[in-house]
Structure 1
């Protein structure tokens, strides 16, 4: 049963991250609004090996080998970790009967990661405070993370429809 829970958490986290990335793609194509380049996440992580955790402007920092793959891989792993965090809070039965409120709540709370960690480390300031149009960037981040929460719910719902599982009494 633990193996099934782990597999389903992985699938829910990946599914939710795909919804978030689908929104980013649609936003770019329909409205011309760029999203985060995950190569920069890989660059940031790559420079941690040398003890550099914060940068004045991450885009001006020298690239590291494999930064794009590293950034995208971590993006999806973080999605899975957030799914696991939600399931830890609400219990594995949510996988059998998913409800939107825990997923949307986690989505809203997850915006703290870019606001408090990623943006300051990239040189953008706390909640992008050093960037022009900071409030616009904050709204975009919140919307993206709410869509991640919606993705958690949708992926959980699809999984519940497909599963015949001892976890769910089936």
Structure 2
């Protein structure tokens, strides 16, 4: 398997691990599943030049927004896996270590803090939400889980790697 294949496998796998965490949060912590339809709505409105909303929930719905949101979610995971492999090299996949995966995983929390949350009306780092501290902690935990997913999926993917 080559760079593209490994990137796809690791990105999709890590994103799926993050989604599993999202499912487990509900019974464990009482936190609702993420609504990727709203991400799709936000992303789709960008085509009209509308990058920031007071409240994405109040913005006009877009046909196919759930599918768009899920696609953006997984494509973003793949892009972050590509970043990990670009920085640490394809050889990292041969002998994955948790450090680089967690650095990238936790570092990806900057995307929602600085782009998504402000663009969707929640403010920088969820500052406009009812409980910003709790929202920030959940984002950080979720992205740490994504980092763990990068590492765990790389361990699976390494068996497919043949230089």
Smaller-chain TM-score bracket: over 0.9
Structure-2 residue corresponding to 1:46: 44
* Counterparts of 1:13 and 1:29, CA distance in 2: 26
CA offsets, 1:80-129, max 9 Å, x none?
A: 00000011100110111111100000011100000000000011110000
* Counterparts of 1:104 and 1:17, CA distance in 2: 14
CA deviation after TM superposition for structure 1 residue 62, in Å: 1.1
In the alignment of these two chains, the number of paired residues is: 163
Structure-2 residue corresponding to 1:163: 160
Structure 1, unpaired ranges of 5+? none
* Counterparts of 1:120 and 1:149, CA distance in 2: 23
Structure-2 residue corresponding to 1:101: 99
CA deviation after TM superposition for structure 1 residue 164, in Å: 5.6
Runs of 4+ in 1 over 3 A off after TM superposition: none
TM-score by length of 2: 0.97
Tell me how large the CA RMSD over aligned residues is.
Answer: 1.1
Higher Cα Rg, which structure: 1
* Counterparts of 1:19 and 1:140, CA distance in 2: 15
* Counterparts of 1:113 and 1:60, CA distance in 2: 22
CA deviation after TM superposition for structure 1 residue 31, in Å: 2.5
Q: Does 1:119 align with 2:121?
A: no
